[in-house]
Chains A and B, each alone.
Chain A
Amino acid sequence: MKRTFFLIMISLMVVSFFACSENEQKKETAKNAAVDIPTITIMTHDSFSISKAVVSKFEEKLHARLVILKSGDAGEALNKAILSKNNPLADVFYGVDNTFLSRALKADMFVPYSPANLDAVDTALKLDPENRLVPVDFGDVCLNYDIKWFDAHQIPPPAMLEDLIKPLYKDLTVVENPATSSPGLAFLLATISRFGQDGYLEYWQKLKANNVLVTNGWKEAYWGKFTAASEGDRPIVVSYASSPAAEVFYAEKKPDKAPTGVVIENGSAFRQIEFAGILKGTPNLLLAQKAMDFLLSPSFQEDIPLQMFVFPSNKEAVLPKVFEKYAHITEAPALLDPQLIGTQRDAWIREWTDTLLQ
């Protein structure tokens, strides 16, 4: 009896599963048949987000249905796009950052296009003169610190990278492994930009002597070791300059003051720029171009901050209040030539690994 019951349960589940997906497909085909609506697919990484309202606007404006394919973290998503370049999975790829820019351009898989509103984008963000990849958003990777912890211990919070190697800041910092984490890589690049290719390893050696802790990813560092967000014992973490805004936005009761501070002066923050581009071989070139226009339009650009906690590339986009108040823009961020990053990245990561992890 029990057995029959169990089998019936399972079969019901599966039938409803198939019914669900079929319904969904029917809905899709019904939609398509009714007005012959085409589909536009954006391939991106797992951190991508967009609000419902903006999706509706997008679909109305383009008369197309938007499908988003999340394909792993930033590196993984790009590699999947490269692997499938002969038979692309999507029309548009979103989320190549400046540390991967040269790998993406070398794969020769993007169609040049200058979207409307490109003029409103800060020229410092435009790194591909041919506009195969155009900047859509940016965020500054920097040190975040636990304000309460520093108040309680009566230690001044760090003001620049050099502070971290002082005895006062021993045992306080957690960073991410640049080989497995994109903020980790950005922070390594910040130190290279600050201390030069000849000096950065010496800095890291001193940091190691000061007992810096390394984790493989941002989640482990922030949720596992950072005193402001976990049971951990490290009051300094590598995160984003916009993280304090997220701390306020996602607080239980909105505080007046963010619980965390950021270190962005003296070239301590590395600017991560995210690009989007049209994938070669898309059957809907016109539509893909319209999608690119949309990505730089104010409606999408103003949606970026609270969805992904990074800054819009379009200077004319209005920032939400919580962002204006709590997220920090760096006046003079650390930058490195993407060409140089492209040729040196693997070597830097190897040297860093040899210095820190052996």
Chain B
Amino acid sequence: MDRHITSVKNRRYLHPYFLAGLVPAGFFLVFYVYPLAGIFLKSFLPEGKLVLLPLDQIISSPRMMKIIWFTFWQAGISTLLTLVCAMPCAFVLSRYAFRGKRIIKTLASIPFVLPAVVVAAAFQACFGTRGFFFGVQINSPIALILLAHVFYNFSVMLRIISGFWSSLQGRIREAAMVLGASPWQVFLTITLPLLKPAIFAACSLVFIFCFSSFGIILILGGPTVSTIEAEIYRQAAHLFNLPLASFLSILQIGFTFALMWLYTSFTRRAVRFSPEGEQVNLKHPVCLWEKILIAGVVLFILLLCVVPLLALVTASLTHGGEWTVSFYTALFENTSDSIFYIPPFHAIKFSLLFAGTALLIALATGVCAALFIRFSDQKFSNRWTSLFDPIFMLPLSTSAVTLGFGIIITLDKPPLNLRTSIFLIPIAHALVGFPFVVRAILPALRSIPDHLADAASLLGASPLKIFRFIDLPLIAKSLVAGSVFAFTISLGEFGATIFTARPETPTIPVAIYRFLGQPGVMNYGQAMAISTILMIVTALSFVVIESFRIDSSEGF
């Protein structure tokens, strides 16, 4: 009897889903834990002597406390604002079918890919002194930061919530209506509680994104405001105060971990329901107020996401008040014969190649991680299994400069002599993309009833077969949602901290930065032109990725 139990227990460790966990674990250990451990050791134990934690420097410095407070404050407010903007839009997108819905959704996702310096230029054009946004002027750095965060993250919130919302069963709602509940009552007591998992998933992602926001803070916020991430960069890259930078990195990782752990333990207890297809619930607008509502939402998305993008397109097509394509034609000329000249098609090619590779790595590791997490949820009652989910989210909020320094001092010997390899680029991008994949497919995986797999396995299906024919089709749509974000993150990544700017493998963001590095009208115009190309490439990629989507929602 005892022997039998042991063998069952051992078999759990040999199950393919458990072994799948080795893939993300290995990836994570080699490219995340090992470099970070290296740089932390180097910071706190240079030459074998312990440098005392600069804790007193932090607590005694009002500036540092202000930075920590501001980091939380701006992330919280940004998340709330994004939620407030996205909820009505998500309602309309999940309830109604109307023409141009896809285009609107695609347009709303483009900001996600733009480098911060380009967004700053767009905002300057919209809200600056000569701004063309109906005379509205915004000069307060904090207002600009919040606006930019909403601009960036709106689509994340919109996609996650509207996807989930559209799969809610209409029957419960209708039953409540029949029983005499007012629309508000239905929303507050039925829809909202059911939406909770999606709202919290979206908020946690957006919060972590804003929490570790870097470019936006440095560029739009200016020097009077700072976040932990921006301060780490300042301490590491300019003041070379490694102990303080490392300490702040650990602090940031700790905060994120605590937050994600709270979040995952919360979502485990969330209400479950069997999702329904989108088509079932979609309505065509009939009465006037429905049409007004849709028009209002479309107008809002256009104003929020599209007007700043149009400002960039306009800047790329005008010079001295006249329309011109000279900035685009100039992209094809190497004015200074520099070896760092980037032919536009090269930049597009390498951007897509890196993003494609990063996406594949993120998908492979992300799917394995999600399978492993679900498997250990089911088979192990130990508390430690609940730690994996939050751990896999950490790369999202880890300071890139700290990780970059870590890679330099650790991945420098064969067989891992990767610090100057081009493969490091997609790997680094995938590290940030794979939490999105995990976040996207885990709820879908968890909603698959156990008895499906049990039945299949009784009939003799191997675990791999079960994955291929049961799990994979059911998570396919969530997989696409995760892919969109993983791909976009890589496409927009400037990746200054890793050695990307080798002349042989340029990307579009690298080209943008190159143009903005020197004065001159042509440089600015070409930066705007190649930014416009980045937007077009992104939009087209979305169309390709989404064509893979079968039907129904992205259930996060």
Give me the interface of A with B, judged by CB distance under 8 Å. Answer: 2-3, 5-6, 9-10, 13-14, 16-17, 20-21, 24, 46-47, 49-53, 55, 67-73, 75-76, 79-80, 82-84, 87, 89, 103, 177, 179-180, 214-217, 219-220, 222-224, 229-233, 239, 243, 246-247, 249-252, 260, 306-307, 309, 346, 349, 353, 356-357
Contact = CB atoms under 8 A, between A and B. Distances in A.
Contacts of B499: 69-71
B547 interface: yes
B367 to A, nearest CB: 14
B240 A103 contact: yes
A2 B544 CA distance: 9
Nearest to A218: B517
Contact of B544 (A6, A47, A73): A6
Nearest to A185: B238
B337 A231 contact: no
Contacts of A13: 352-353, 356-357
A217 B219 contact: yes
Interface residues of B, number: 75
Given A3-B476, A9-B544, A14-B353, 9 more contacts: A49-B339, A50-B338, A76-B238, A83-B42, A83-B405, A180-B234, A223-B121, A243-B519, A252-B326
Contacts of B504: 24
A53 B117 CA distance: 32
Interface stretch (B123-131, B172-180, B262-270): B123-131
B339 A79 contact: no
Nearest to B352: A13
B519 A222 contact: yes
A13 B544 CA distance: 13
B544 A223 contact: no
A83 B239 CA distance: 14
Nearest to A88: B412
B512 to A, nearest CB: 10
Interface string B326-357: 10000000111111100000000000111011
B501 A50 contact: no
A325 B517 CA distance: 22
B420 interface: yes
A231 B117 contact: no
Interface SS, A side = helix
Interface stretch (B196-204, B297-305, B520-528): B520-528
Nearest to A248: B520
A71 B498 CA distance: 7
A214 B237 contact: no
Pick from B338, B408, B423, B548 the residue with the most CB of A within 10 Å.
Answer: B338
A50 to B, nearest CB: 6
Q: Most chain-B CB neighbours within 10 Å: which of A2, A69, A76, A356? A: A76
A83 B357 CA distance: 29
B223 interface: yes
A180 B218 contact: yes
A101 B408 CA distance: 22
B536 interface: no
B23 interface: no
B196 to A, nearest CB: 31
Given A71-B499, A89-B419, A223-B121, A252 B224 contact: no
A89 B404 CA distance: 14
A9 B107 CA distance: 23
Contacts of B130: 231
A266 B419 CA distance: 47
Contacts of A231: 124-125, 128-131
A87 B412 contact: yes
Contacts of B476: 3
18 contacts: A3-B548, A10-B360, A21-B422, A69-B502, A79-B236, A80-B404, A84-B408, A179-B223, A214-B222, A215-B223, A222-B519, A224-B121, A249-B335, A250-B522, A346-B239, A349-B239, A353-B63, A356-B223
A47 B128 CA distance: 28
Nearest to B480: A6
Given A10-B360, A72-B496, A180-B234, A55 B520 contact: no
B274 interface: no
B357 A84 contact: no
Contacts of A219: 117, 219, 516-517
A230 B517 CA distance: 14
Interface of B: 42, 63, 117, 120-121, 124-125, 128-131, 218-219, 222-224, 234, 236-240, 319, 324, 326, 334-340, 352-354, 356-357, 359-360, 401, 404-405, 408-409, 412-413, 419-420, 422-423, 476, 496-497, 499-504, 513, 516-525, 544-545, 547-548, 550
Contacts, number: 200
Please give me the 9 A-B residue pairs with the lowest Cβ-Cβ distance, nearest first: A250-B520, A70-B501, A13-B356, A6-B548, A177-B223, A76-B237, A17-B353, A246-B519, A51-B337
A47 B519 CA distance: 12
A264 B269 CA distance: 68
Contact of A69 (B326, B412, B420): B420
Contacts of A72: 237, 496-497
Nearest to A356: B223
Nearest to A224: B124
B121 A179 contact: no
Contacts of A249: 335-336, 520
A52 B339 contact: yes
A249 B522 CA distance: 9
B426 to A, nearest CB: 8
A179 B239 CA distance: 8
A67 B129 CA distance: 44
A223 B523 CA distance: 10
Contacts of A9: 544
B16 to A, nearest CB: 21
Contact of B359 (A10, A53, A223): A10
A17 B334 CA distance: 25
A79 B235 CA distance: 11
A84 B117 contact: no
Given A10-B356, A13-B353, A70-B499, A250 B223 contact: no
Contacts of B521: 229, 247, 250-252
A252 B409 CA distance: 45
A84 B130 CA distance: 47
Contacts of B419: 84, 89
Nearest to B127: A231
Nearest to A215: B222
Scoring A5, A21, A70 by chain B CB atoms within 10 A of each residue's CB, the highest score goes to A70
A158 B504 CA distance: 44
A94 to B, nearest CB: 14
B170 to A, nearest CB: 28
Contacts of A49: 336, 338-340
A75 B238 contact: yes
Contact of B356 (A5, A14, A20, A80): A14
A45 B522 CA distance: 23
A357 B231 CA distance: 15
B530 to A, nearest CB: 14
Contacts of A260: 519
